[in-house]
Amino acid sequence: MRLLLTLILTLTCLASRAQQPTEEEYRSRDDALWQTFSAQTDSLMRLIQAAEQPAIRDSLTSIYRALYDDVLQRNWQLALRYATVPGGLQRCFMVRAYIPDDSLRAALGRLPASLRRNRYAEAIRLHLRCRKIEPGGRIRDFTFRTPQGNRVRLSDYKGRQLLLLYGGLDCMGESGRKWLDKLYARTSREALEIVVYWPVESIGELQRTAAAYPMPFAQVSDMKGDVTPFKIYYQAQATPTCFFIGRDGKLLHKSEGLDPDRFEKLIEEGR
């Protein structure tokens, strides 16, 4: 009888372990999700690029957007299902803006002891409790460091217009960097400042990044990497995410990617 009970308990424990999500399983499912999306959309993108009639191009683009919205939803749903493994928890943080707060709280409640103090778990908790910066609202002040180690605060720029970028000098390409360079050259520092925040983890990494993109304006970081409170309060994930801040310290405009026409209009209105 004792042997039978031991066997039952052993089999129960093994079955329980087999049902626990694993990092490998999450990675495999995540890869399969994006591979399927790529297979669905590669030929579609070629058709969009080749379409000569605007109506056909718009129709194909609508199909692409529907597929993209669907894969984004599947992406965060998969991350929630695997939030108890490091990769799934990290992805929950990356797509936090798409996930309902109640679902994030439930995911945090299911975390094993080994992940409860994980930096992505802490970042999600901050996301859930903090007041997000929205257009029309006042900015939250932060202290950063320059590659030379000098301290810079966002409040130092009050009284001037500020174009603040969350990374992205690499992503915007040469044309974007040239536009920023020309904008900086033809405006005065009393009127406009440009600052690029990099989500790096050391002064050395900031120095190397700034050296790779030598620009005349400030490049800064708080050295807190991917989980910096800056990106959480300002709801930034894509690079560049751009924030145009007025002289009074209010956020006037936010965009994923450069929005030159809108920035030019705001600069003119703020003269």
- Three-state SS string over 23-81 comes to HHHHHHHHHHHHHHHHHHHHHHHHHHHHCCCHHHHHHHHHHHHHHHHHHHHHHHHHHHH
What residue spans define the domains of the chain? 22-129, 143-269
Averaged pLDDT, 219-240: 96
pLDDT at 8 over 60: no
- Render pLDDT for 186-214 as a digit per residue (tens, 0 to 9): 999 999 999 999 999 999 999 999 999 99
- Render pLDDT for 72-108 as a digit per residue (tens, 0 to 9): 999 999 999 999 999 999 999 999 999 999 999 999 9
Q: What is the pLDDT of residue 5?
A: 45
Q: What is the pLDDT of residue 206?
A: 97
pLDDT at 34 over 70: yes
pLDDT at 119 over 50: yes
The mean pLDDT of the chain is 92
Reported as a pLDDT band with limits 50, 70 and 90, residue 1 is: low
Reported as a pLDDT band with limits 50, 70 and 90, residue 11 is: very low
Averaged pLDDT, 103-128: 97
The architecture CATH gives domain 143-269? 3-Layer(aba) Sandwich (3.40)
SS3 146: coil
Q: What is the pLDDT of residue 12?
A: 46
pLDDT at 4 over 60: no
Q: Strand pairing partners for 153? A: 143
- Is the C-alpha dihedral spanning 19, 23, 27, 28 positive or negative? negative
DSSP sequence for 180-231 = HHHHHHHS-TTTEEEEEE---SSHHHHHHHHHHS--SSEEEB-S-GGG-HHH
Determine contact, residues 242/163, Cβ cutoff 8 Å: yes
Averaged pLDDT, 252-271: 92
